[in-house]
Structures are given as structure tokens and as C-alpha cells.
Chains A and B, each alone.
Chain A
Amino acid sequence: MGRLERDAADALAAAASSAELAEVETAALGKRSALAAAHRHLAALDPDARRAAGKALHDARTRLEALAAARAEELVAAERALMLGRDRLDLTEVTADEIRSAMTRGRLHLVTQTRRELEDVFVAMGFTVAEGPEAETDWYNFEALNIPPAHPARSMWDTFYLELGQPETVVLRTHTSPVQIHLMEDGPPPVHAVIPGRCYRRETADARHLPVFHQLEGLVVDRGITFGDLAGTIETFTTAYFGPDIHSRLRPGYFPFTEPSAEVEVTCTICRGAGCRTCSSTGWVELAGCGMVDPAVFEAVGIDPEEWSGFAFGFGIDRCAQMRHVIADMRVLTENDVRFLRLF
């Protein structure tokens, strides 16, 4: 018994590679090993002896298994060290003709292409492009935007909270609107900016929604800005981005941070306004939310609403891509299947 274990232990220790170890392990501990054979003989013993021998066998097996595991770890480490040594490459001694470079061109992600195009449309209209963080405090994401804690309107946004600070005080931004607050805090008006970026909502992904998505926000704060300016800006944008036969219309909506608020609808890009299933036969589809900056928001950032006025709007970059390119299921955007990536 002792010899059996000693031999097996020696064999395990002597294994020189992972492959060899695997063989040795099978021989020492497998179904056809001496150990297994000894175990089969237990049945012939009387109960007391069986119990003692059984325990001894079990202990020996446990020790051998531990030994095998330890040896396996050693061998893996040694083999990895060997591999790393063999693999060693001085990246500074790579000559130019050693380098292969593909002659095919890659592609920007459809969302990036869409974002750039949207940015360019607004830049041409005189907007700058601003950005902001994706993790925000409750203040920036909600409170400064006229959505106090526990306000029922919060149910408009399904929010991911982060395990930081007091519960529910740090969020993944549910919209790009907190950047409005940053911009107005950072300096005096005027502000004419669009704000693209990634947003998060605790929603299960489906054909039309992703829990992680991209928005483009717009903010104009200047003297004498009116609702008519907002409607004109939206119309200019939709024509520039979607084409001259796509129009926009505003209808009343509700957002706590704008007053008056409006939903933007544009001519359905599928049927060009004739009416189809996508637009429920109305010829119009919802694109964006917008409105005049609420005086409570100006108050939160210390801007005098008598002197300055402004408008804000926000819409989905991914949604624009979906509409323009007739993407049935948005989830394809995050699958990174190269067949899709190469399409655009």
C-alpha cells in the first residue's frame, strides 16, 4: 500500500510535460490503476478491515490527487515560461518589411458614421460639439433638470444605479441632458452646442430599444431665442439629414426640463408619408423630444431667465441609423458581426 503510493508519487513527480502527466495520472489514479484495483478488493474484507483499508485508500488517493494537481500547476507554469521565452519579441527590432498590412479598408461603425454625419449637419449650422461623462450624480441627471428625488416623473427613465456613495445617488446617465447642466455651469451664455454620447436605461433589449444606446442632445441658450427658432432648427436639421422630402412637425409633449415641450415627428422614411405599418398609417414617426429650457433649469444653474432663453432637443443616434438604413432589429448594432460591420 505504501509502496503503491510511493511509486505513483514518484511517477507523478517525474512527469516532464503536461501531456506526460496526464498519462501518468491515468495510470496511477484511473480505472485501471493499482489503486482502483485495490479498491475493488475491499469487498472481500471483513467490515472493520474494510473500513480501515478503505480510509487508507481514500487518503492515499486524496494525497496523490493533490500531488498531481500541484505538479500540473508547476508544469503549466514551466511550459508557459518556456513558451514566453521562445515567443520573446523585441518590438523595437521589427523592420519595416516584416510588417504585413491589409490592403482592404476597414469601416467605421454605423453608429459612428451616423454620429459624425449628425455632428457635421449641426456644425454647419453653427453648433459646437460638447461631451460629458457617462456616470453622473443624481443632481446632474435629474435634480438640476427639474426632476426632484422621488418625483413621479422619474418613472420616465429606468435608471441604472451604481454602488457608490449613498444608495441611488450615482447613476449611469439616462440621457445626454446632464451635459446641458455642465455646459451652463461651465461658463456664461451663449451656448450653441450639440452633445452626442452613450446613455443607459434599464430596459430589456428588443428590436427598437437597447439598454445602452446613443443620443444626440442640442442646447441653445442665447438672447431672444423662441419656440419658433426651435421649430426652424429642427426642420433645417431633418431636411439636411434625411433629405428634402422629409419634414418635421411638433406636437405637445412633456419633459420636466422644457416648457413648452414638444415631440418631434418626421415624415415616415419607409413610406415617405403615404402611410404604412411602421408609422401606423399616419405617415409620421416619432424622432425626438424638445422644448424651451424650463426656467427651473435656468434657476438651478444660476442663469437669469429674463435675460436668456433657450431650447433643447434630444434624439437617438441609433434610431436615426435605424430609420435611414431600415434596420429591423437594433440588436444587430451590438453584435459586431463583421458581415454587418462591412455593410456600411
Chain B
Amino acid sequence: MKAPLSWLRDFAPFDTSDPAALASSLDDLGLVVEGMEHVGEGLGDVVVALVEGVDAIAGADRIRLVTVDAGSGPLEVVCGAWNFAPGDLVPLAPVGAVLPGDFRIERRKMKGATSNGMLCSARELRLSDDHEGILVLNDVEGARAGVPLTEALGVEPDVVFDITVEGNRPDAWSIAGIARDLAGRLRLPFTPPDPAPAPDLGTPVAALASLEVADLDLCPRMVVAVLDRVRVGPSPRWLARRLLLAGMRPINDVVDASNYVMLELGQPTHPYDLDRLAGAGLVVRRARPGEKLVTLDGVERTLGTPGRGLGDTGEDCLICDAEGTAVGIGGIMGGESSEISDTTTRVLLEAAYFSPMAIARTSKRLGLRTEASARFERGCDPWGIDRAVDRFCELVGAPTATGKLDVRGHVPVPERIVVTSRRVRAVLGVDIDAEEVAALIEPLGFGAEPRDDGLLVTVPTNRPDVRPAPHGVDDVIEEIARTYGYSKIPRHRPSWPEPGGLTRYQRERRLVGDALCGVGALEAWTPSLVDDADHAAMGLAGAAVEVSNPIANEEAWLRRSMLPGLVRALARNVNRRQGKVRLFEIGIVFSHPDVGARTARGGASGSETAVLPAERELCSVVLAGEGDDARSALAAWRVLVDALRLEPVELVADESVPGLHPTRSALLATSGTAGTTIGAVGEVDPAVAEALGYAADNGRIGWLEVDLGRLLDPSVTPRRPVQARPLSRFPSADVDVALVVADTVPAARVEAALVRGARGAGTGDGAGTGDGAGAGDGAGAGDGAGAGDGGLLESVVLFDVYRGPGVPEGHRSLAYRLRFAASDRTLTDEEVGGLRRRAIDAAAAATGAVLR
């Protein structure tokens, strides 16, 4: 809120010489000064001038030459505004004047005309936001040519602080409240407003109006006063100016007085034209379901019906006239029918304490937030109402009926809380003695009676942020800390015996990211909120989770895959001529609970079990560098296998992975018990890429995706053993084997059979080759160390694939290099030959392979 220093000074003698120091104190109290504006300064050189003539300038159609007289003869000024005519009085900044904002007026030539100064708008003078034209001063009393503008307007230099008040401090959301905090900090006396009594009308209020509150839970207290012989007109200049400085537009003296009281004391009030109320008085009640009312802003509101919001009971507090017709929504906005007008003579003023929660839910449902509702929902002081009403009556100054109507239900009363010195020390880590605590919080209106172990604190009713005990103890301690000064609390770095660190999952997730950087991929951040059409485009069946209140339809669904986002990112880079790149992302994808669900505490007070989308953390990679395709994706995958020391993971060709090229993609299946799928490798389906804006002629997109939850769980994706094994010091023997196999047989099956055969683990037809079960003949030859590992085969590598003459159509020749070694001797040719034979036989039996 905007707080002019001159207004703050009504309540405490603040020093005006150093506003920055005041701002710093306010900051330190948590009343954050977002801006500080010096107003009425820099106007010393500006004078009132009489417009004598306005002439066109040859060749210019936007500016004119104005002749003015500021008491010392005619002066020519070029001006671009058109809202004045000869005979008007306007502000003139002569050459040499320095306007607010350090704006120096120079003599200038425009289109051949010389300008000897500037005529000013209200905004240029920082008097208001009005920049529609030059400020015309004809109606200003005392404005004559040559008179200094400050004298004519009665403007004193002032400083306006723009202060953000936290939501839990309704007491400070007022000029007096800010002054109270600041005075406390600066140890200055704070004098609360003490309205003088208004002239007594001599008629008891009850004779003029009635008040009935039917639903005291929504409106625990309401006060009504009646003023007569009101003459509605403009507010006095000082009041209008204060409203302007505080950012409110003056309307008429009655409405202005109500606004002024709200700004000054934080208590909204509402004036009604008593003669326009059907039945002289007010009835406060719950709105009936579906009841309608046209509010002051001209909008018809439907009330009394719960909205979608959690906890919205649909209870709205209506203010009605004595005949029961709605005239306003309590605490939020009045109705059109009983508005104050120029002809109003009798005013009924309503001031109330509304249930903060009720105001919050009505305001939220109606999307109607007003200065009043914002204050009521934070909680006004139920016992500050009387002062606010008196202040209003004082400002309006009209004869006021004797007494007030006052209906009360359960109105909050001051809480009493014991705050022990021990607790203060336990929370803040510093000893502040009880006497000092009392001196800190008493200026804020808290009562503090010493006790053996601390203080008995009485909480003023303007502090709804302080809860009842026991939680309220810490709320009081916050006040102590705030007034003591957070910066004075000694800092200390805590330590504890438990070690810090990343989990294994977190460490290995970093490893995955680093490994992918190693293959030249850049990490991207694509949207989590996407268009469901993208899921359809990649052929993902089933539902996505929908956002109830998206910002845009394209961001209305939780992503189920990162493929669309990554392909779109590729496309965007292509469009920006950034060429061919590899991207990856590590992030969360969501399943609809119908497919994959997680349960968690939910419902009111967490008493029920709620169903939520299952979340999986994936790592997805798109490889669209020069020449990239499924092979590049495979390479990236092999790097991950190596980085994580994975046991072999099977590639299972699969034609139906959504979004992927049917004949160039495979699932990654672990050898673990369930043979779990942990991801996929291959290519993005060119048709899908095209649908996502990546044209096929940009080349193929290699694709790798792994579910990190599965990949990094060794019970799902087994790791190679970490125990060291003695390295053989004897020469190894390489054997090359070229096998002709039908195209329909995956090479992986051939390789698996070769390994099986060479290790002698036994296959269905292994018996035919004469070896026994178990570790094969290596064991018999004394290969003790390697027995558990399958013997003498060290590695199998596919090193050549050949199709063409010499190999039948529909077949290819796969050339493998098998390396054998024993840890304790050099293998004989016979041994190697036997192993080779068994490997070939196993491959032949399992896949129909023929030795080439």
C-alpha cells in the first residue's frame, strides 16, 4: 500500500530529513518498501501561466506554438497537447527548471519554432497519473498567472512509500498500523487517531434505522450509524490529495471519507443512501441458493451455490434492506441500488467484522477481490470498528444520530498466552530478558505481565496472525524477533553426526547425464504440460491426466512421453538453422491412474486415500546429428551399459513401440527374473517426426529411452560383479567364425548360442556334442577360478556382416571373433578347436546357422 510520510506523521513525529532511513527501518520490520516516490518536489520553478494564443507551426501537424503569460510578458512555448485554449490557466516550466525525475528544461527549436519552456501534464509534475493532456488550473482557487504552482495547489513536498504488507499482517495494512510499527522500532510515541464527536442530531439512531443480523457466524459484529443533512460534494483538498497519493481516486466526500478511514485505520465501511433503502435498516443473512444481485460494477452475481473450490460451502453473507432485498455482498461489494449520489441527504454507515474464511471463499468463487474483501479476509480488528465509525462521522461532519446500532455474536477477544524465556531461547537461540521483551512488544499493543518464567502476554484483537496457545507462543516469539531485529540474532552453523550425501540412485543418475554428454548430447528441458494431440500423434493409446485450469489448451495435459517435446526441440533448432544435434532429457512422465497409480493421503485432513498418477523418471535421447540413426542410439546405449557396468541387456525387436520406427527399434529387456523391459532403442518413426514438425528430409532420428527407476535398480537390471578377478598372464587364442543365418534370425540369438556352446552351459542338443552338464570341460582341466563364470570364453565380438554373392538371398553372413583364455596355462589347439566346434554346433542347433 502507498503511505505518504505526511500522513504517517499524523500519528508519530517521524523525522522527515532522511526518508531512506525510515524505509530501511520499515524493511527491517518486514514492511517491505518496494518504492519511494518524492512528490511535490522539483515544482519550485513551475508557475501558473495564462494561455494567450495558440498558433499552428508551418509543416507540423502535431505540435503548436502557444503564447503564454506567466506574469512577466508573453513567452512562446511549443506544445503537443490540444486540451486547452486561450484563456486557460496552465502550469509552465520555464527554461532552466528541473522537473521531478531530474528532467531539465532547455530552450529547444522544433520545426523552426523556439520553445522557451514546457507546459506540463499532471504526470510530468508527479501530481497524478494523468497524462491525457496539460493540467488545466482554471478551477483552482488562487491560481493566477505568475503564482508559483506549489502555492496555487497548496502542495507540500512529500515522500510516498510503496509498502508490501504480508498477508498475515492486516493490522499493518493501514497508515496508522504502519506508523505504529515504525514508531515502536524508532522508540517514538504513537498517538492513535482520536476522532472528535460529530454534531449530535438529537434523534436516537434506533428511531431512524433498524439492524438485524440473522447469521452471526458469517458476520459476528455489525455497527450502524446514521447521518442526516449530508450535502454530498467534493472532498476538501487535503483529503482528496491524500487519497490520490495513496492511489485512490476521489469521488465525493461521503465515499471519500469511507475510503480514507479504510486507508487510515484498515477498517472498511460502507455508506448507504438511507432513503434509497426499502425499509430503513439492514438485515444480514445467508444468501439463498441461486439468489441474484447486481453489484456496483454492474455485474449480476449468482450467490448461495457452492463452487468447485475445495472447502467452498457456498455460504455467502448478504446485506439486505429491512424488507429483505439484497443490497450488497457483505464485506466485498455493495449493490447498485443504494449507492451514494449527489442527492443523498441521509447516510446509513455500516461497519462490520465478517468471518475471514467466509469472505475468502465468496471472493474466490466470484473472482471478485476488492480493497474491502482483501482486508476482511485477512481479518480486521472487531474492536476497531467504533473508532472507524467515529472517524467517518468526524470527516463527513454532518449531524449524527445519537448512539449506534451494534449487533454482536461471538466476537474474538484478546488471547492471553504465556511465553517463557526458555521457549524464546529455544526458538531464537538468543536470550532476551523479559523486561526487554515487554519493551519490544508493548508499543505494538501487546500486554506483557512479568511472571517467574517469562511473560503473560495479552494479544490485541488487531493481530489475528497470533493464534491461541500453544501455537500462538511461537507467533509472539516472531513478534519479539521482528522488533528485536532479525539481524541482531547471532548466527551459528549447526552440525550433526549423520553424514550427508547423495543416494546411489542420485549418483548414478548424474553418471547417466555425464555419459550422454560424453556422446555429444546436449541436455534439454522440454515442457511437462503438453497437448494431448502430441500423444495421439505418436500413437500413444489411452488417456493422459488433464489439468483442470490450464493456461492454454496446448498446455493442458501431463506428458506421458518426452518424445514429442524432444522432437519439437530438434525441429525448432532446425528452423533456427542450428543444424543437426543430439539432445537428451531426464525428467518425469505421468501415467493416468487408470493405467498406473500411486496412492497417498488425501481428502479432508489427510484422512482418506487418494489416487494419483504414477510418476516415472525417464532418460530420453534423440540423436539427429549428421548420419545419426538407430545405430547411433545403440552406441549411446552401449556407453550407458559400460558406464553402469550392466550385465548384458537383451535387445528384443519390437514393431509396436509407440512413436518408434517399427522395423528399426527394439525393447531393452533385462535378464532379471521377470525379464523386465527397461526402455527402448531405435529410431523415431519418420511419420511421427513429420507430424511433430520435423520433416523427414532432415534425416533419421535415433532414439534411446530408459526408465531410470528400473535401469538404476540392480535387482531389476543386474550389474557385473565388482570383485576383482586375476587377469590371465597366458596368451589368449582368437577364433573367427563366419556363419550364414537367415535374415529373420536376430544376430543376438546367434551370439547367445555361440556363448552357450563355448561355455558348455548345455543346450537342448548340447548332449550330442558329448559334453556334460555344468561348467564344461574347462572345469575338468583345472580352471577352478573361472568355473563359476562359464570357463574359457573371454569375449565374443561381431565384427563383420556380409550380404551378397556367395550368401543365399534372405540370409547374411555374420562373422564373430571368439577369444579364449585360461588363467593358468596356454590353451592347446585341440582345446580351442573343441570349444570352437561346440560354439558352432550350438549356433547351428539353435538358429540353423551354417558355417560359411
Contact = CB atoms under 8 A, between A and B. Distances in A.
Interface of A: 80, 84-85, 87-109, 111-112, 116, 119, 122-129, 133-140, 143-144, 148-153, 155-156, 160-170, 172, 190, 192, 198, 200, 202, 204, 211-212, 220, 222, 224-229, 231-233, 235-236, 249-254, 259-263, 280, 292, 294-296, 299-300, 309, 333-339, 341-342
Given A134-B588, A170-B612, A151 B427 contact: no
Interface in B598-646: 598, 600-606, 610-613, 615, 625, 627-632, 634-635, 638
A91 B668 CA distance: 11
A148 to B, nearest CB: 7
B521 interface: yes
Nearest to B473: A295
Contact of B361 (A150, A224, A292): A150
A222 B498 CA distance: 11
A54 B74 CA distance: 84
Given A105-B518, A162-B545, A133 B492 contact: no
B201 interface: no
B525 A109 contact: yes
B551 A87 contact: no
A339 to B, nearest CB: 6
A84 B663 contact: yes
A295 B474 contact: yes
Contacts of B516: 106
A101 B797 CA distance: 19
A233 B665 CA distance: 50
B405 interface: no
Contacts of B593: 164
A227 B309 contact: no
Nearest to A86: B663
A252 B601 contact: no
Contacts of A225: 494
A92 B578 contact: no
Contacts of B547: 160-163, 172
Interface in B656-682: 661-666, 681-682
Interface string B511-525: 001101111111111
Contacts of B518: 105-106
Top 9 A-B pairs, shortest CB-CB distance:
A252-B30, A149-B311, A226-B429, A102-B520, A228-B429, A92-B748, A137-B602, A93-B747, A260-B478
Interface SS of chain B: mixed
A116 B471 contact: no
6 contacts: A93-B801, A161-B547, A162-B558, A227-B428, A292-B474, A295-B471
B92 interface: no
B746 A92 contact: yes
A88 to B, nearest CB: 4
B494 A137 contact: no
- The residue among A124, A167, A252, A292 with the most chain B CB atoms within 10 A of its own CB is A252
Interface string B748-767: 11010000000000000000
Nearest to B505: A131
Interface string B154-185: 00000000000011110000000000000000
A229 B651 contact: no
Interface string B469-507: 011011101100110001101111111101111110010
B842 to A, nearest CB: 17
Interface SS of chain A: mixed
B613 A135 contact: yes
B interface residue count range (under 10 / 10 to 19 / 20 to 34 / 35 or more): 35 or more
Contact of B310 (A138, A164, A261): A138
A99 B492 contact: no
Interface stretch (B7-15, B39-47, B111-119, B526-534): B526-534
Contact of A96 (B489, B576, B799): B799
Interface in B549-605: 549-551, 555, 558, 569, 572-573, 576, 578, 581-584, 586-588, 590, 593, 598, 600-605
B32 interface: yes
B410 interface: no
Given A87-B661, A170-B612, A254-B169, A104 B489 contact: no
A232 to B, nearest CB: 4
Contacts of B558: 135, 162
A106 B523 contact: yes
B486 A252 contact: yes
Contacts of B359: 152
A119 B500 CA distance: 10
